[in-house]
């Protein structure tokens, strides 16, 4: 496993981290499978784990806390997210600051997260949604200062909306934030335009989420794919999105090197960008852990293939189904 500096925190984080959304609200047997996958990730060098209170109303956080206690000899970086007070994802311009992150709510959910984790301090706490219309409000900036001063939070960040990487730049420019989480993958390259240069300049740690474009870049989704009742992807891959997503993925198939999968190519593409400190694929099963962590070998992709993949940038605008 290769490690990268996480901005001004100076943490050395695994370039392949662990996204824990898929571990929320599962049955007990699935919890056992999750624990096994998490332990395997630690064995393979993963030291950055990203969760949120919103993932099973704290259940995923509890699984992370248990993991930390099972590995007292290793430094595992814990990251979670405060849900907006209105519990609406993503943030919309008409949601007021009071609807989302009043100080009392920020403090309450930080305490809930710490209780779920069983820790006195979390390494990285993030606002789970963001709209730059709130950037000038002093309340959230003072809340961050208070949380750090109390020792409950070591670093603070924001998670920005899908396909809106610029909708967080004003907040980052306040200097109060240490990290930003953004969708970045072969299709979603627009953080390279403004967000990444700013993060480089201000020494802000970057977390790349959705490395597989919700599954499109695994190469396993077809126009006939259906999802189980209640599966979030069923509301995301509506016909207009499913068909165009599959067509974009199909255009990549001729580029996949021999002996490589589309998923591996997708992760290696992200490693080629030095602005990214860590990426957080979901890895619910042991085989996913083994395959995903294996890409952190320093080899990346050939310059020619990387350049070819840059041509597959797909700029999209938020819609009712993009969530």
Contact assessment for residue 4 and residue 17, using Cβ atoms and an 8 Å cutoff: no
- pLDDT score of 229: 82
In the chain, which stretches have pLDDT less than 70? 25-29
Question: Phi/psi class of residue 126: alpha, beta or left (left: φ > 0; alpha: ψ in -120 to 50)?
Answer: beta
The Cα-based distances of 214 to 10, 72, 170, 234 in angstroms read 30, 33, 27, 11
- pLDDT score of 25: 55
The pTM of this model reads 0.97
The Cα-based distances of 278 to 21, 46, 222 in angstroms read 16, 10, 29
Helix segments in the chain, DSSP class H? 28-43, 59-70, 97-100, 103-117, 138-149, 169-172, 195-202, 233-236, 239-250, 262-271, 286-293, 303-310
Output the six-digit token pair for 102.
Answer: 């009043």
Exposure string for 281-294, b = 16+ CB within 10 A, e = fewer: bbbbeeebbebbbe
- For 253, half-sphere exposure in the C-beta direction (CA atoms, 13 angstrom radius) is 11
- pLDDT score of 320: 87
- pLDDT score of 72: 98
- The Cα 297–Cα 141 span in angstroms is 39
In 3D space, the residue among 242, 238, 268, 239 whose CA is nearest the CA of residue 255 turns out to be: 268
- The Cα 72–Cα 171 span in angstroms is 35
pLDDT digits (tens, 9 = 90+) for 166-209: 999 999 999 999 999 999 999 999 999 999 999 999 999 999 99
- pLDDT score of 28: 56
Quick count: other Cβ atoms within 10 Å of Cβ 323? 13
């Amino acid at each position: 496993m290769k490690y990268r500096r996480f901005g001004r925190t100076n943490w050395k984080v695994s370039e392949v981290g662990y996204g824990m959304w898929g571990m929320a609200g599962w049955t007990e047997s699935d919890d056992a499978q999750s624990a096994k996958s998490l332990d395997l990730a630690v064995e393979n060098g993963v030291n950055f784990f990203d969760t949120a209170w919103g993932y099973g109303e704290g259940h995923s956080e509890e699984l992370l806390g248990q993991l930390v206690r099972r590995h007292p000899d290793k430094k595992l970086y814990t990251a979670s997210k405060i849900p907006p007070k209105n519990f609406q994802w993503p943030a919309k311009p008409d949601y007021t600051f009071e609807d989302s992150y009043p100080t009392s709510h920020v403090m309450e959910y930080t305490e809930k997260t710490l209780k779920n984790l069983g820790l006195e301090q979390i390494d990285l706490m993030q606002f789970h949604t963001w709209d730059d219309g709130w950037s000038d409000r002093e309340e959230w900036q003072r809340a961050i200062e208070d949380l750090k001063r109390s020792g409950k939070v070591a670093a603070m960040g924001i998670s920005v909306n899908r396909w809106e990487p610029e909708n967080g730049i004003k907040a980052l420019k306040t200097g109060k934030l240490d990290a930003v989480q953004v969708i970045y993958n072969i299709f979603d390259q627009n953080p390279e335009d403004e967000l990444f240069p700013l993060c480089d300049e201000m020494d802000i740690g970057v977390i790349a989420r959705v490395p597989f474009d919700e599954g499109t870049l695994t190469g396993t989704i077809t126009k006939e794919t259906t999802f189980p009742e209640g599966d979030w992807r069923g509301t995301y891959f509506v016909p207009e999105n499913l068909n165009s997503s599959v067509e974009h993925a199909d255009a990549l198939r001729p580029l996949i090197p021999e002996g490589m999968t589309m998923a591996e190519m997708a992760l290696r593409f992200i490693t080629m960008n030095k602005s990214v400190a860590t990426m957080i694929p979901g890895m619910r099963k042991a085989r996913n852990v083994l395959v995903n962590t294996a890409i952190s070998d320093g080899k990346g992709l050939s310059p020619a293939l990387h350049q070819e993949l840059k041509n597959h940038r797909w700029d999209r605008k938020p819609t009712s189904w993009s969530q």
